[in-house]
Structure 1
Amino acid sequence: MKTAVNTATAPTLALAIADFKEITKARLAISVVFSSLAGYLLGAEQIEGVSLLLLAFGGYCMVGASNAYNQIIEKDLDALMKRTQNRPIPSGRMSVNKALFIAILLTVLGVVSLYVLNPKTAMFGAISIFLYTSCYTPLKTKTPLAVFVGAFPGAIPFMLGWVAATNEFGIEPGTLFMIQFFWQFPHFWALGWMLDDDYKRGGFKMLPTGKKDKGTALQIIMYTIWMLVISVVPAFGFTGRLELSIPAAVIIFLMGMVMLVFAFLLYERRDNVTARKLMLASVSYITLMQVVYVIDKFI
């Protein structure tokens, strides 16, 4: 009898874990936590294991809460799109009340964890949830400017790590914020280009011109250039304690040029294949750029 109960429980538990990962967008949350930890390592004069754990846990909770609120608000629209119709709420596997409980619990745990680090970190974490759910999410069906609004909460994690380590906000975390802020435009517009038909089923306005045209591609090029410029500015001594060696700046510049090449190719070809390559290049860039920054600090 015990064996039968255990056999029945195992798939149920596995499904519950899978749904939790889906409602919190685990892969996205982990990438955000990675950015926060990179920012912490850049800002910290002395690395503390407990602080890293609090930042990682609190960061995941905050991102997970934002994504859960988002899926609650967009449940009816998610049901219209192929890439989202199997999410826990539109598929019927999770009730709205359960999702809301998860979102509220994660919000409380996240804010408390980050507050233990310092109040500024908790404040920025709370601001990111508010902007994502109350501004970015409802604007997605109304105006392409939603991507601009969403870039603010999306740019907070890299900066958040520095604030968590120093309890200060200045030119250094401001620079980290700007790097990730400008990066989001080519990344999300490339993604929006690939998924344009599906987004339109849900009524989302993700591309700046509303079309997969040269105007959108040109804006992708411009924001990629700004991202690249800001990424290497710390090599010129204008950003306080946030420093970057010339060799590291060259490496980051070359990585950014890969993105820029794909942006120009998208302008020329205007196809989904190139948009996908740009999106993948952007994911590689933001991760490797942060790794280079951290390694450069410690060598």
Structure 2
Amino acid sequence: MKTAVGSEREGALALIFADFKEITKARLAISVVFSSIAGYFLGAYEVQWGQVLLLAFGGYCMVGASNAYNQVIEKDLDALMKRTKNRPIPAGRMTVNMAMILAVVLTILGILSLYLLNPKTAMFGAISIFLYTSVYTPLKTITPLAVFVGAIPGAIPFMLGWVAATDDFGIEPGTLFMIQFFWQFPHFWALGWMLNDDYAAGGFKMLPTGKKDAATVLQIIMYTIWMMAVSIIPVYGITGRLKLSVVAAVIIFIMGAVMLGFALQLYRKRDNVSARKLMLASVSYITLMQIVYVIDKFLA
């Protein structure tokens, strides 16, 4: 009897944990935390692991809060799309009130954790939540320019780590912001291409032209080239303490060229398979690029 009760309790806890991961978009939140920590390592004169833990915790809370607010706002639209209809709120496993309480608690914990690092970090974290929730989310059903707005909070994490380490905003974190800002467009438009029919069912306008056409892919190619260019700017020695060796710059450029190759393949084929390859290549690029930056700093 005790075993049965224990198993039932464990099952309930597992379901609650699964719903927590779903409403905070755990995989996305972890990738954001990774970017923030990479930025911290680049900015820190000396790594302080207590600060890294605060940044990781605060960063997860801020992303989790943004996603929870987003799912509260879009609960009715989520119910219309295959990929989102089983989320906790539209599936009926979590009430709107419970989701809002969770979002508010995560917001408070996130801002407090980042404030303990320094006020600037908390400010940028709060700006990220506001833009994602109050501007990007409602614009998604109005205009494709929502992706441009969403790219701003999406680009903050890499920059945020530097600010957390230095309590300063200058050309270095600005450059990190621009790298991740331009990366957002090929990444999300490749995803938007793959899920265009599902997004349309929810009324979302994610592709720049609203269609899976040549003009959309040309913009993907253009932003990929800009991303490649900005990613190697530090090699020229014009970005303050943010530096990049020639070897590291060549490696990053080659990785960008691989991603550009997948974008060109999408232009030729214009199919979901090519869009998926580009999306996966973009995820690999942003992760490996940040790793190369960090390794290059410590080797130098």
TM range (shorter): over 0.9
Q: Which residue of the partner structure matches residue 162 of structure 2?
A: 162
3-state secondary structure, aligned to 1:87:
coil
3-state secondary structure, aligned to 2:243:
coil
Alpha-carbon separation, structure 2, partners of 1:147 and 1:156 = 15
Q: Which residue of the partner structure matches residue 115 of structure 2?
A: 115
| Cα deviations by residue, 1:83-115 (Å, 9 ceiling, x for unpaired) | 000000000011001111110000000000000
Alpha-carbon separation, structure 2, partners of 1:103 and 1:142 = 25
**Cα displacement (A) at 1:257:** 0.3
Residue identity opposite 2:171 in structure 1: I
Alpha-carbon separation, structure 1, partners of 2:211 and 2:27 = 28
Q: Which residue of the partner structure matches residue 125 of structure 1?
A: 125
Alpha-carbon separation, structure 2, partners of 1:283 and 1:9 = 37
Residue identity opposite 2:118 in structure 1: N
Alpha-carbon separation, structure 2, partners of 1:52 and 1:216 = 39
Alpha-carbon separation, structure 2, partners of 1:102 and 1:25 = 13
**Cα displacement (A) at 1:5:** 2.1
Alpha-carbon separation, structure 1, partners of 2:222 and 2:200 = 25
Residue identity opposite 2:126 in structure 1: A
Q: How large is the RMSD of aligned CA atoms in angstroms?
A: 0.5
Alpha-carbon separation, structure 1, partners of 2:207 and 2:139 = 13
Q: Which residue of the partner structure matches residue 180 of structure 1?
A: 180
The equivalences for 1:15-34 within 5 A come to 15-34=15-34
Percent identical residues: 78
Alpha-carbon separation, structure 2, partners of 1:215 and 1:120 = 39
Alpha-carbon separation, structure 2, partners of 1:277 and 1:3 = 46
| Cα deviations by residue, 1:202-231 (Å, 9 ceiling, x for unpaired) | 000000000000000000000000000000
| Cα deviations by residue, 1:223-258 (Å, 9 ceiling, x for unpaired) | 000000000000000100000000000000000001
Alpha-carbon separation, structure 2, partners of 1:107 and 1:295 = 32
Alpha-carbon separation, structure 2, partners of 1:135 and 1:233 = 30
Unaligned runs of 5+ in 1: none
Residue identity opposite 1:228 in structure 2: M
Alpha-carbon separation, structure 1, partners of 2:3 and 2:228 = 58
Alpha-carbon separation, structure 1, partners of 2:6 and 2:125 = 39
**Cα displacement (A) at 1:269:** 1.1
**Cα displacement (A) at 1:4:** 2.9
Residue identity opposite 1:101 in structure 2: I
The equivalences for 1:219-234 within 5 A come to 219-234=219-234
Alpha-carbon separation, structure 2, partners of 1:33 and 1:61 = 10
- Could you tell which deviates more after superposition, 43-52 or 3-12? 3-12
Residue identity opposite 1:259 in structure 2: M
Alpha-carbon separation, structure 1, partners of 2:259 and 2:189 = 13
Alpha-carbon separation, structure 2, partners of 1:131 and 1:188 = 17
Alpha-carbon separation, structure 2, partners of 1:267 and 1:14 = 43
Q: Which residue of the partner structure matches residue 96 of structure 1?
A: 96
Alpha-carbon separation, structure 1, partners of 2:280 and 2:52 = 28
Moved over 6 A (4+): none
Q: Which residue of the partner structure matches residue 266 of structure 1?
A: 266
Residue 73 (structure 1) aligned with residue 79 (structure 2): no
Unaligned runs of 5+ in 2: none
Alpha-carbon separation, structure 1, partners of 2:227 and 2:123 = 26
Q: Which residue of the partner structure matches residue 251 of structure 1?
A: 251
Alpha-carbon separation, structure 1, partners of 2:118 and 2:40 = 13
Residue 8 (structure 1) aligned with residue 8 (structure 2): yes
Alpha-carbon separation, structure 2, partners of 1:55 and 1:71 = 24
Residue 297 (structure 1) aligned with residue 297 (structure 2): yes
**Cα displacement (A) at 1:270:** 0.7
| Cα deviations by residue, 1:13-71 (Å, 9 ceiling, x for unpaired) | 00000000000000000000000000000000010010000000000000000000000
Q: Which residue of the partner structure matches residue 193 of structure 1?
A: 193
Alpha-carbon separation, structure 2, partners of 1:42 and 1:200 = 40
Alpha-carbon separation, structure 1, partners of 2:208 and 2:294 = 33
Q: Which residue of the partner structure matches residue 286 of structure 2?
A: 286
Q: Which residue of the partner structure matches residue 211 of structure 1?
A: 211
Residue identity opposite 1:8 in structure 2: E
